[in-house]
Amino acid sequence: GEIVLAADTLVALNDQIIGKPRDVEEAAAILRRLSGRAHEVCSAVFVCHLTSARSTSFYEISRVWFRRLSDSAVRAYIDKVNPLDKAGSYAAQGHGAEIIEKIEGSYTNVVGLPMEKTIAALREFGIRPKPA
C-alpha cells in the first residue's frame, strides 16, 4: 500500500513561534534572541495509508539551550550555514555544535524529523525502515 508522510517543525521561544528568516539580518537577530537561552523545537508528523485511509499522527517537543553568542560568533555561524531555509535560523547538525550548548529530548527532532517516533509509526503500517 501507498503511504503518505507529512511533517513540519517550528521553533518557539516563550510561546512565540519563530519561523524561517526573511533575510540574513533577520537571521542574525533571531540567533541573538536565542543566545544564552532555552527554546523549544516542535515537530508534528502525520502518516496515512492511502488505500485504507488509516492514519496516525504525533508530535515531539525538544528543548534546546544555546551558548551565549557574541556578534562575531553569530556572523561566523551565518557565514558557514545558510540560515534562510531553517526555522530559528539554525541547524543542529554540522556547525550546530558551535552554537548549541545542550539538547533535552530527541536530537533528530531538532534536525527536522523525530526518527524514533516516525519509525515506530511506520512500523504500525508494516513498514520496516532499513538503517542508514
- Examine residue 131 and state whether it is found in any structural domain, yes or no: no
> Is 79 known to be catalytic?
no
Q: pLDDT band at residue 16, thresholds of 50, 70 and 90?
A: very high
Q: pLDDT band at residue 131, thresholds of 50, 70 and 90?
A: confident
Confidence check: pLDDT of 58 > 80 = yes
- Examine residue 129 and state whether it is found in any structural domain, yes or no: no
Domain count, the chain: 1
pLDDT score at 60: 98
Instruction: Tell me the pLDDT tens digit for each residue of 75-101.
Output: 999 999 999 999 999 999 999 999 999
What does the buried/exposed string (b/e) look like for 69-97 if buried means 16 or more CB atoms within 10 Å of the residue's CB?
beeebbeebbeebebeebbbbbbbeeebe
Q: Which pTM was predicted? A: 0.89
**CATH code for the domain of 59:** 3.90.950.10
Check 8, 23, 71, 85 and give the catalytic one. 8
Which residues, including other chains, have CB under 8 Å from residue 22's CB and lie 6 or more apart? Answer: 84
